[in-house]
Amino acid sequence: MKFGYFDDANKEYVITTPKTPYPWINYLGTQGFFSLISNTAGGYSFYKDARLRRITRYRYNNVPIDMGGRYFYINDNGTIWNPGWSPVKTELDEYECRHGMGYTKITGKKNDLKVNVTFFVPQDYDGEVQQVVITNEGSAEKSFAFFSFAEWCLWDAQDDSNNFQRNFSTGRVEVDGSVIYHKTEYRDRRNHYAFYSVNDEIDGYDTDRDSFIGLYNGFNNPEAVLAGKATNSFADGWSPIASHYKKITLKPGETKTLVFILGYVEMPQAEKFEADGKTINKVKAKAMIEKYSTPEKFEEGMKELKTYWNKLLSILSVTTPDDKVDRMVNIWNQYQCMVTFNLSRSASYFESGIGRGMGFRDSNQDVLGFVHQIPDRAKERIIDIASTQFPDGGCYHQYQPLTKKGNADIGGDFSDDPLWLILSVSAYIKETGDWSILDEMVPYDNDMSVAQTMLDHLTVSFYHIVNNLGPHGLPLAMRADWNDCINLSCFSDTPGESFQTYTNPKFAAEGGYSKVAESVMVATLFTYSGPNYVEILKHLGKNEEAAKAQAEIDKMKKNIMESAWDGDWFLRAYDANGEKMGSKECEEGQIFIEPQGFAIMSDVGKEQGTDLKTLAAIDERLNTKYGLVLNNPAFTKYYIQYGEISTYPGGYKENAGIFTHNNAWIICAAAYAGQGDQAFKYYSEIAPAFTEETSDIHKTEPYVYGQMIGGKDAGSDIGQTGKNFGQGKNSWLTGTAAWNMVAISQYILGIQPDFDGLSINPSIPHEWDGFTAIRRYRGATYNITVKNPNHVCKGVASMEVNGQAVDGCIVPITDGQKEYNVVITMG
Ligand code: BGC
Ligand code: NOJ
């Protein structure tokens, strides 16, 4: 069942009922000010850090779901309603929500009154602009009361949600004309305030929540709205809010337009107040309000936003035989990659914004998805990440976005982390041809006095693996590898111990983790990412170092084949007892997805047919109509030696859930191995646009990836195997976005930036006649036509560049050339 449709021309998803199977959200903002907005206008705003600068309040895991947001209420002679349906939930005569690129438009109609609200965060602007257009579509004059509503958060979202003994007594506001200012703690230790304005005179306001809502009422029936009149309340402690009240009369056909702004302002210490020493200095706020004070200025801002997105999205656009592929590649997958870049894993409807900082591995992988759009910011991000590395190549697992410092609470020793840096730096060079990033001086642990070049960082990354091998010559698993839930040094039997941060004291003498437990996944990630490092060294003429690194890769491949090939697939690990994990010999968890794709893509044991055998086993054991499960069979009991993975009921998360992130590695591997049909099958099982038809099962947004989909074992724990199979969770902020962008654009469509230029080597469904693409790359435009007359899945029979036949599949770069017309004939 569908709950809307794609409007590709406008790059929007149009939701046609407010009762979606889960709140379907969008993100506003790209730089400092961010908002989450659901299809019923729920959500919240923050400045840069969703924990420390939360502007409006939101209660996660609320009942009913998604309560709290920016709400407009109408009291039309006793009929009370919201244009976004919620929270009053009066049935509307018309409803529509259009989530677009950085904006959301919600329209509701009731009793001839149509209200259309557009929300967006302009470029270079620290506020959410909301334009409300109210039209009387009836034949009689209408008079009604109109209210806005936002609830302030007392800045630190974590403290706000638990320190009530203090917080109920700190809230402070100021009201100046039609602007309500939130200034809790501004007099004391903060230099920031927020405001909510409207570009018109108002007939009243409320700033105290209980006065507006009433202690025993809810968002769905605020007393002031019921009464049709504001109380002009002034918050002093308790919960400050901002609500404007306006009486409006509209003749038939008449329209009223209002522009509201929810803004954030930082002030230098010396300029915080007016001369009286206590009134907020509002100069900056007034300038912000002025900037979007009219519908014309609003339109101008929207136009700039559209230009910004159109430009970003025009760097890659494709026309394939499948319009779902086109809308993923051209619009939504690229959009999600940018949102994930901006937000990392901090704030979604599943990430509370107070938990995780920027992940070392996560942020490096995110780069793979957006580097073509904003390479400069990718470079900056890569340098920030690398600056939190330790001199031995180990890494802080996370860093804080405001300070950019490594997070000591989590620490390091995640075995995969360093390798992702090799991939992100390589991706940056392959995209831009800017080798100078390797010369950048980058600190260790943010200490500039021990800075070395980025190339040195890659070297310590590479050798961090080589220097930390276990008994089989495979990388030590340490606290965890990519799969945070395989914790081989944890042995946790105490509630509350974090599987990610707790390591069993029994390993203290060995340096904190088992020197026996080994990760095959890191081994194959090493053989997959390592060759990039070798290429880089060769390019720099460092042939001896290149040969030395290559020897390590070859040795690793040998070790994998000797100790980690299970006959039909690759093992997952050796646990701390030296036992195999992910082997036929195991009772449960016999096969895991993670090591397989990288092994195939780095030709480990290829001469013995490991690639095709492994792909066949994956198809048989892991594939389902909703994607590939992470492992099989699911764990049905707690394996203390494996850790968190076995704490989830079967079919969820890392325990045999469809973890969409690593599905992409198999899509890439199948494409690499020439199985274009298989690759596309796996792609379409999970790509959001393909799940649209089953939105009732999938539940989360059909325009973005989620981290997880319930696997075939979902429900098995309660004897209802298949219950929740196909149900999506944790949408938006996931490495899935980047990796699936890579999978479809670089492996299936085969348009892959390489060190020496753009490589085009598709691996597509055999029935495709071909496709076309436009790719802007290193300052030139590539107009690509792929023809598939013989209906093969893979193979470049010939390539023509500007009419000239060229060998191979890398388009040679000619200095100064601005346009390349590339024709590929497959065969
Ligand atoms: C989740 C993982 C996540 C980890 C760290 C676990 O509970 O299942 O997906 O990476 O926590 O936050
Ligand atoms: C989500 C985390 O953000 C990511 O770092 C991890 O690789 C996956 N979960 C798998 O556990």
Angle between helices 594-601 and 610-621 (to 10 degrees): 150
Residue range 391-423, pLDDT digits in tens: 999 999 999 887 889 998 889 999 999 999 999
Helix (H, G, I), strand (E, B) or coil at 647: helix
Best residue among 653, 661, 732, 734 to mutate for probing ligand 2, ranked by most atoms within 8 Å of CB: 661
Residue range 610-637, pLDDT digits in tens: 999 999 999 999 999 999 999 999 999 9
| Angstrom distance (rounded) from CA 182 to CA 152 | 7
| Angstrom distance (rounded) from CA 500 to CA 489 | 10
Distance (angstroms) between ligand 1 centre and the Cα of 116 equals: 39
Bridge partner residues of 804 (DSSP): 801
Distance (angstroms) between ligand 2 centre and the Cα of 483 equals: 6
Bridge partner residues of 146 (DSSP): 74, 246
Overall size of the chain counted in residues? 827
Residue 221 has pLDDT above 90, yes or no: yes
Residue range 67-113, pLDDT digits in tens: 999 999 999 999 999 999 999 999 999 999 999 999 999 999 999 99
Q: What is the pLDDT of residue 116?
A: 98
- H/E stretch holding 465: helix 454-466
Best residue among 351, 362, 486, 734 to mutate for probing ligand 2, ranked by most atoms within 8 Å of CB: 362
Best residue among 399, 482, 485, 708 to mutate for probing ligand 2, ranked by most atoms within 8 Å of CB: 482
Q: What is the pLDDT of residue 53?
A: 95
Share of the chain above pLDDT 70, in %: 100
The ligand 2 atom at the shortest distance from the C-alpha of residue 356 is: 3
Neighbours of 496 (CB within 10 A): 6
Label the pairing between strands 255-266 and 192-198. Answer: antiparallel
Bridge partner residues of 242 (DSSP): 150
Are 13 and 6 in contact by the 8 Å Cβ rule? The answer is yes
Tell me the Cα Rg of the chain: 28
The ligand 2 atom at the shortest distance from the C-alpha of residue 482 is: 7
Q: What is the pLDDT of residue 403?
A: 84
Both tokens assigned to 285 = 């706020």
Average pLDDT over every residue of 594-604: 98
Residue range 537-592, pLDDT digits in tens: 999 999 999 999 999 999 999 999 999 999 999 999 999 999 999 999 999 999 99
The ligand 2 atom at the shortest distance from the C-alpha of residue 345 is: 3
Measured CA to CA in angstroms, residue 291 lies from 259, 280, 284, 296, 300 at distances of 11, 20, 11, 10, 10
Ligand 1 neighbour 484 (Cβ under 6 A): yes
Ligand 2 neighbour 653 (Cβ under 6 A): no
Both tokens assigned to 431 = 């995209």
Q: Is 484 a catalytic residue?
A: yes
SS in 3 state form for 678-741?
Answer: HHHHHHHHHCHHHHHHHHHHHCCCCCCCEEEECCCCCCHHHCCCCCCCCCEEEECCCCHHHHHH
Q: What is the pLDDT of residue 533?
A: 98
Residue range 282-308, pLDDT digits in tens: 999 999 999 999 999 999 999 999 999
Helix (H, G, I), strand (E, B) or coil at 94: strand
What is the amino acid identity at position 698? H
Q: What is the pLDDT of residue 401?
A: 81
Angle between helices 454-466 and 375-386 (to 10 degrees): 50
Residue 356 has pLDDT above 80, yes or no: no
Helix (H, G, I), strand (E, B) or coil at 350: coil
Q: What is the pLDDT of residue 174?
A: 98
Ligand 2 neighbour 654 (Cβ under 6 A): yes
pTM assigned to the model: 0.97
Average pLDDT over every residue of 225-245: 98
The ligand 2 atom at the shortest distance from the C-alpha of residue 485 is: 11
| Angstrom distance (rounded) from CA 386 to CA 384 | 6
Q: What is the pLDDT of residue 402?
A: 78
Ligand 1 neighbour 653 (Cβ under 6 A): yes
For the CA of 410, the nearest ligand: 1
Ligand 1 neighbour 654 (Cβ under 6 A): yes
Catalytic residue from among 322, 484, 566, 575 = 484
Question: Whose Cα sits closest to atom 10 in ligand 1?
Answer: 484
